[in-house]
Structure 1
């Protein structure tokens, strides 16, 4: 009779210590840039921590958070703090933000116009319809002097907060991931570099955000209570590695900005 020296779980643990097994972490994304960053980490850095990063993709902005509560994934990498705070309120999910990683700058883009000065009267503009990016888009239009918002606009602004619209812009709202597809049908759109990358387009921006305001920076997010799990902390540390900063700068040349 062969004597059983270890329980199955103990055997796995010993193998892991010897380096023949990797700890798997499943991370959700909704955009190709977040996916590329995670793939870089998995290929170049994760082995240092005995980690394997598996990327799970979703096509909407709701499931990535609900999947955390269902434990389908361990973390997600697609949202900034204002979006997360709104999700906590709307979905009644306790989320925990970890390290800040990158800013996908929001910009004004057009197929035919080369500058804001060329925007004609009665131009059609498309922006995202979700609470966060709707506000963000309106503020970008205002910062480029295309509209003016009411001085007492607090929280998340909407079109009702427009005080002046000198060019009589016709502002259309679409689902965030659909905005980029309207570029052939409108005068200009407000969209992110990540959305354009997903569509396979490298546009010239007429005006964009800067990294000065970090509230829209993407962060690794997990379910509250899981933030100290070793595999989550390992990935959290790797996402702020100098090699990741160099990769982002080289790969995206200012369209995506590392903030660490």
Structure 2
């Protein structure tokens, strides 16, 4: 595992990213109807309280925006629970430690269902993180040398997505008969002899000083204090990879879950995403 101290000096948001990814955090309770400075007030006993698991700053900030600006319309309070991996938000949902999570897209969820046998259900898709090829050394794909090292996510869905991005940018070729989800075994040609290293998704950005380039999202790279200039963006902004609100099957009609599901697609949330992330994150509703 690589260390964050190897990264360039981090911005304020970058430091927030380190804290989120470095270790599991105790739930942060941020109630609606409060000032942006304090971020907390005592909840009204008549309000519904919903616990939502997240793994990244974007989902957290969207939920905070809803809490501070919209939730009071629905008598809703949101308790944000932070995790540092992509497994615990679903097991916590299974164990009813949280009511929903907001960190995964539907293909990832479907694979998690197969692996964990947890009956997950995706509700409204909210925003899309597009992938890119990021380097501190190179500015274009043409500059990538022979035997270059690249880090990509190791989970089935994002590993497939990363390898297909390398293919779309002419760095590798995949077998013609490759299945729906490709792995390194499906590489037919690797003309630059890329050394492809796989790590857990939340660790990818930490490797940027130790490899020639990484496959990551622009927003994740930006939050780590690195200029989010991509050498090669994802060619198809496929909405199936949009992050959605997820809960357990059978809980989707609970009032507090439906309240949040409704607020997540409020026009003000779309405006917030567009203004805050300036195209690095794309609302899909």
With normalisation by structure 1, the TM-score equals 0.89
2:156 equivalent in structure 1: 131
Contact 1:31–1:194 (CA under 8 A) maintained in structure 2: no
Counterpart selection for 1:31 from 40, 43, 56: 56
1:67 equivalent in structure 2: 92
Q: CA RMSD in A?
A: 1.4
2:231 equivalent in structure 1: 206
Alignment map for 1:11-90 (pairs within 5 Å): 21-90=46-115
1:243–1:202 Cα change, 3 Å: farther
1:122 equivalent in structure 2: 147
Tell me the SS of whatever aligns to 1:37.
helix
2:124 equivalent in structure 1: 99
Q: Which moved more, 1:197-206 or 1:180-189?
A: 197-206
* Deviation of 1:210 (Å): 5.5
* Deviation of 1:20 (Å): 6.4
* Deviation of 1:38 (Å): 0.7
* Distance (whole Å) between structure 2 residues aligned to residue 129 and residue 70 of structure 1: 25
Contact 1:96–1:222 (CA under 8 A) maintained in structure 2: yes
Answering whether residue 183 of structure 2 is matched by residue 158 of structure 1, we say yes
1:9 equivalent in structure 2: none
Contact 2:55–2:83 (CA under 8 A) maintained in structure 1: yes
* Distance (whole Å) between structure 2 residues aligned to residue 125 and residue 37 of structure 1: 31
1:251 equivalent in structure 2: 276
Answering whether residue 264 of structure 2 is matched by residue 239 of structure 1, we say yes
1:14 equivalent in structure 2: none
* Deviation of 1:235 (Å): 0.5
Q: Map Cα deviations across residues 164-197 of structure 1 (whole Å, 9 max, x no partner).
A: 1111111111111111111111111001234324
Answering whether residue 214 of structure 2 is matched by residue 189 of structure 1, we say yes
Unaligned runs of 5+ residues in structure 2 are 1-43
Contact 1:26–1:54 (CA under 8 A) maintained in structure 2: yes
**Highest Rg: 1 or 2?**
1
* Deviation of 1:201 (Å): 3.3
Q: Map Cα deviations across residues 190-232 of structure 1 (whole Å, 9 max, x no partner).
A: 0123432443434211122266411111000000000011110
* Distance (whole Å) between structure 2 residues aligned to residue 85 and residue 91 of structure 1: 10
Q: Map Cα deviations across residues 126-153 of structure 1 (whole Å, 9 max, x no partner).
A: 1111111111100000011111111111
With normalisation by structure 2, the TM-score equals 0.82
Q: Map Cα deviations across residues 32-67 of structure 1 (whole Å, 9 max, x no partner).
A: 111011111111111111111111000111110011
* Distance (whole Å) between structure 1 residues aligned to residue 264 and residue 225 of structure 2: 24
Counterpart selection for 2:135 from 89, 107, 110: 110
Q: Map Cα deviations across residues 68-106 of structure 1 (whole Å, 9 max, x no partner).
A: 111110000000011100111111110110001001111
1:175 equivalent in structure 2: 200
Tell me the SS of whatever aligns to 1:207.
coil
Aligned residue pair count: 242
